[in-house]
Chain A
Amino acid sequence: MNSPVIGAKYIFMDAQTFETTKEQKTEARMITGAEAVMECLLAEGVDLMFGYPGGAIMPVYDALYSYSDRLKHVLVRHEQGAIHAAQGYARVTGKVGVGLVTSGPAATNAVTGIADAMLDSTPVVVISGQVGSTLIGTDAFQEIDVVGITQPITKWNYQITRPEDIPWAFARAFYIARHGRPGPVVLDITKDAQFGKFMFQYQRMKSIRSYTPVHVAEQDKIEEAASLINLAKKPLALIGQGVVLGGAEKELLAFIEKTGIPAAWTILGLSALPTDHPLNVGMLGMHGNYGPNIKTNEADLILGIGMRFDDRVTADTKKYATKAKIIHMEIDPAEINKIMHADVPLLGDVKDTLPRLTEKVSSNDHSEWLQEFHACSRVEHERLIDKDLNPSKPELSMGEVVHRVSAAFNDDAIMVTDVGQHQMVGTRYFRFKQTRSVVTSGGLGTMGFGIPAAIGAKMGKPDRPVVLFVGDGGFQMTIQELGTIYQEKVPVKIVLLNNNFLGMVRQWQELFFDLRYASTEMINPDFQTIAKGYYLPSVKVTDRKNLDAAIKEMAESDGPFLMEVVVEKEGNVFPMVPAGASISDIRLE
């Protein structure tokens, strides 16, 4: 008999449950809200955060002063930088990045970073100060509706007006940020809640009634997918960030190696498998490789693995994967059938789904089909890549710089990029040996992301070299973070690819707007002088013959370093799928 839902007799679990083991439950004691914030962060394993103080967050900063031996705080130069740094940290470590800002303009400055984390599924908790609860809604000094503003760009947000709500809200924030499809959470804490004293006790969250972070793929769907895979003659796997977020790199290798399926990665799927893996056929998308784009419309089966069929990957969806059935492995139910209809949706964490699928598929070999990708690659090399990497022109190309920098770090550095032409060239030519080696703004395409994200990445992985590629446009959007690099002595290697243009927009103006270069030419300052002002060792390369020596100097330097390379003024990034076209219309030149 089914029990009726109607009526007060229905007993149901609490709206949330907490971890109750001894280690996860702290002793109760009387402290202020601000101290509670510190305790919550420690209990969640936080040891590093990025922020900027101000009026409404001062009690928290005052508490931080006493906790500075356990909680390192990095003072950025602008709140946008704090969030991007937290993102960089989260992307390379897999841990939750934390940003700390004050109310009003600080919170609005943080918005770009929060939105970026939302679109790229990055676990970030942003703590913002807020005016006292009695002033809320009165247009008080530096009061802004942070919860209202950030609601569409957060996975969850909440305004804390009483100190008693701090442990609960923090436990929930960290649970939500890191579980399921990760994302940003904003906690807005009023000043009186920071000052108020209460009996503090912390328990980490175990579950939330209204949120199922991970569904488990049904076995019959797995079997349905397996039979499609076994029958497919021309299958193509699309590797997204879900593989990295799920820590399913080994499971992915086992799956593609057993089935012999060629694998292409999205921009955020980069480094999920090694660049030189024989089944890796390159990058998807508007500026991706020729083969994976052109072959998508010849494939008879597309396997989306932890990716979301973004419009930069699919181009015109009506002319995308025209001959293929689609298996979509995805953790977020809202992504299923959002862009492309999934013939077999496999809802769940790829870490769970992939091995179950591997078990059910037969060993296979698609070497003839793989050869077709290699043939495409040869075409791309002959017509494009060889010229990019070994140009005959006197001007330096972005491609040759990226290629040589990658090699100088043994193809094993973490690459951070800003947004624009250099980003596409970086993602095309940088090579990877291990996972979590790329930090780039994929979804939001945020110029200015690069410098702060590189700071966060380097602080998250101090033992690995971190190379930032940035253009002259994006460099000047968050240039002030060079001050953070100086203060914290963060040894990031910055490669400034300077063409004195907003190159990507200029490229579009050249190709689609009749060479009408409206506001894309940049009359730039002397970046060497700026570097000097920030005590940043630097070198400027204008001639190919000096490139290798400069790269060597950068790679061998102990601290932060800026290598500015003056590159071809009007170089274009190809291949390119023109906006609105089909991926089959990809242009090689």
Chain B
Amino acid sequence: MKQEFTLTIYSENRVGLLSQITTVFTRRHINIESLTTSESAIKGIHKFTIVVFSTREDIEKLVRQIEKRIDVLKAYVFAQDEIVHQEVALYKVPTEALLNGNDVEYLVRKYSARILEMTPEYTVIEKTGHKAETQELFDKLDPYGVTQFTRSGRVAVNKLKQEPLTDFLRKLEEDTRK
């Protein structure tokens, strides 16, 4: 059964790593729903967070192919209930829409969004939340003339007691010292 999985991949920070990872998806016709990447808490190690729809079996094969890349340290698969995740969305609306009544202000309050910037021409609203939530606010704001809308990829932390990468790195270090 296909379901949503969040992959966290740790790699060395090397040119071309993203392409090495995405090739593995492309080759197996697995579409990437969302992708976020930045330096992890450990200096020099980058973290990729990738969301895909797939079966457990296929995704586990995919992860082993990703880990096969020399510069990839480790990849983990999480089902939806094993992580806490967040996304951020930005909406640009004409400031005029806020001046002609308090509908937009009401939406900002109701959806716990906030206003980042306001100029005579436009206002930028920010909302954090899951895709469904940020989408819902977009649908609500759209009648007021959203001129730009962008949503980030997912960031996620897992619910495990400890980051599994820690054990992996510790074992590696012990093996190297042997």
Q: Which A residues are within 8 Å of any B CB, using their own CB? A: 2-8, 10, 12-13, 15, 17, 147-148, 151-152, 155-156, 159, 176, 207-212, 332-334, 336-338
Contact = CB atoms under 8 A, between A and B. Distances in A.
Contacts of B73: 209-210
B99 interface: no
A316 to B, nearest CB: 18
Contacts of A17: 176
Nearest to B23: A152
Contacts of B67: 333-334
B68 A333 contact: yes
A152 B27 contact: yes
A13 B172 contact: yes
Given A3-B166, A334-B64, A334-B65, A12 B42 contact: yes
Interface in B1-49: 11-12, 15-16, 19-20, 23, 27, 41-44
A10 B173 CA distance: 12
B44 A15 contact: yes
Contact of B19 (A8, A151, A159, A334): A151
Interface of B: 11-12, 15-16, 19-20, 23, 27, 41-44, 60-61, 64-65, 67-68, 70-73, 162-163, 165-166, 169-170, 172-173, 175-176
Main secondary structure of the interface of A (DSSP, over half): loop
Nearest to A185: B70
A155 B69 CA distance: 7
Contacts of A209: 12, 73, 172
Contact of A5 (B27, B42, B61, B70): B42
12 contacts: A3-B166, A4-B166, A5-B42, A5-B165, A6-B163, A8-B43, A17-B176, A148-B16, A151-B23, A156-B70, A337-B60, A337-B61
A333 to B, nearest CB: 6
A129 B41 CA distance: 37
A151 B169 contact: no
B31 to A, nearest CB: 18
B176 A208 contact: no
B41 A6 contact: yes
B70 A176 contact: yes
A148 to B, nearest CB: 7
A336 B175 CA distance: 23
B71 A210 contact: yes
B12 A15 contact: yes
A11 to B, nearest CB: 9
B119 to A, nearest CB: 38
A338 B176 CA distance: 29
A6 B43 CA distance: 10
B106 to A, nearest CB: 40
A2 B162 contact: yes
A111 to B, nearest CB: 15
B70 A151 contact: no
